[in-house]
Structure 1
């Protein structure tokens, strides 16, 4: 399903790029041009996401025993870099017109085409974010929020260009393009920051860690003395948990093993895609 959503993202991105390029061709608006340039980034991002999701789905092998799930983070980092490049291109086109505003033509048809493109993007963003969360795919979620940002940006551009058309205040066109560039730069920074966190083995969210601790407390039911050194990390749609479990010294190995099996099953049901490693220790290792 994640790969199907990525293919849909690519198809819609190509359609939207064509519509936005047509809108710019009809009007000559540098703000609409900035919107079209951002769509080029969307196409590149969709391609990267599709490639990364396919790679991340490969099973573990001899050289990658933990799988290939971190490939999705590389996709998101590259997407962030492309976003920054798009912002610089927009600024390059907008700055000359800031000092020499140009009246625009054909705005009626152009704005209508752009509105159609934004509507398609809005539906796509909702679908990508929903599927990305469902399948725990950073690449899909990043792509979805990227497309959503594009929708919000396009809405602002349409409003501003429409106001410029009604008032004749044509400097609004390059001003809006520069605002779009600033928004895209911020989005690119966030994408890179979040993806680098995944590459650096960032822990699960505080909410997820709290759920893990609740499951452990519930399942142990006083059959262990202590849990310590609990560590988590995430890698694409997978998550990893390890902790030390202190049991009474006289606990049989088979009983400790059954306790660990029950814990692992309950934790994996609570957080799908979670891989659990438990180190059992005797009472002599108890802390405090």
Structure 2
């Protein structure tokens, strides 16, 4: 069975192929209709392809083992790809707004709407199915680049659905100004998505802590596997791509041997590695008088439940 890293690489590569196919369908729809709203939909797909290519490279780079220049590995490379994808989304939105403004000045009739909307609907369904695969597998593999790619595609599906509904309304009413208006709404939606993507990725680059649910699980695993320890404190976590760094202080009886302390630390590290995907654990062992809880300092209790 292929490793998680190999599966993520394969999915990121196929995302480029799928993106090219979706782009071809959307440009056919635009060519058939001349709709500026469908043009904006196709422009976003160009960004999808470029972003998928960046994600593919970033995933390959993040899988490189640690070296002398990068002793903690290359895991954050995926966050850079997500930030760059957000920037590309903003560029695409500005191009869409420019085209929509021109269409407002010179309204364009929509030709062959039936075939064009049918092709767009087909592209949206295919995009949605692939986005669901990327988000599901990206979460399972804890790959920010894969999840970001999937979310971007899903936002594309939502905008495509809105464009189709809006164009049907424009055709029913004869209000041609709805076409460029839809394009502008697509651009604003794309801008919002780009901002959200950049913001979440910057959080990763800033060494944000794991979410509260994961933090509670980490605390539970430490407490369950810390027999003979007096307490643990100063727990710190951070995420870097698919890796979660965990460090804390473990207070042990002062008379305990180094070998015995080492066995306890090994047990905790193995338990965290089993229960917390991508865990990298650092434990600082301290003697009893370093405990922050009064009872634990006297060897009679636990500072933080263990």
State whether TM-score is above 0.5: yes
Q: TM-score range by the shorter chain?
A: over 0.9
Q: Which residue of 2 aligns with 1:263?
A: 268
Aligned to 1:7: 13
Q: Pick from 46, 68, 71: which aligns with 1:40? A: 46
Of 237, 259, 271, the residue aligned with 1:232 is 237
Q: 1:96 offset after TM fit, Å?
A: 2.8
What SS is found at the alignment partner of 2:281?
A: strand
1:286 equivalent to 2:302? Answer no
Matches within 5 A, 1:203-242: 203-221=209-227, 223-242=228-247
Question: How far does residue 100 in structure 1 lie from its aligned partner after superposition?
Answer: 4.1
Aligned counterpart, 1:65: 71
Task: State the distance in 2 between where 1:131 and 1:9 align.
Answer: 12
CA RMSD of aligned residues (A): 1.0
1:247 to 243, 252, 258: 252
Distance 2:43 2:106 in 1: 21
Residue number in structure 2 paired with 1:162: 168
The residue correspondences of 1:15-34 to structure 2 (distance < 5 A) are 15-34=21-40
Correspondent of 1:49 among 48, 51, 55: 55
Matched, 1:176 2:182: yes
SS of match in other structure, 2:225: helix
Query: In the comparison of the two structures, how many residue pairs are matched?
Result: 287
Q: How far apart in 2 are the matches of 1:7 and 1:159?
A: 32
Residue of structure 1 in register with 2:140 after alignment: 134
- 1:152-177: per-residue Cα shift (whole Å, max 9, x none)? 11011011111111221111111111
Q: Select the residue among 186, 191, 198 that pairs with 1:185.
A: 191
**Structure 2: 5+ residue runs without aligned partners?**
1-6, 294-306
- Displacement after TM superposition at 1:99 (Å): 4.5
The Cα of 1:235 is off from its aligned counterpart by: 0.8
Q: Structure 1: which 5+ runs fail to align?
A: none
What is the CA-CA distance between 1:70 and the residue it aligns to? 0.7
Residue of structure 2 equivalent to 1:117: 123
| CA shift digits 1:64-94 (9 cap, x unpaired) | 1111111101100000000000010111011
Matched, 1:274 2:279: yes
Please tell me whether residue 90 in structure 1 is matched to residue 78 in structure 2. no
> When the two structures are superposed, what TM-score results if normalisation uses the length of structure 2?
0.92
Distance 2:233 2:262 in 1: 18
Q: What is the aligned partner in structure 2 of residue 148 from structure 1?
A: 154
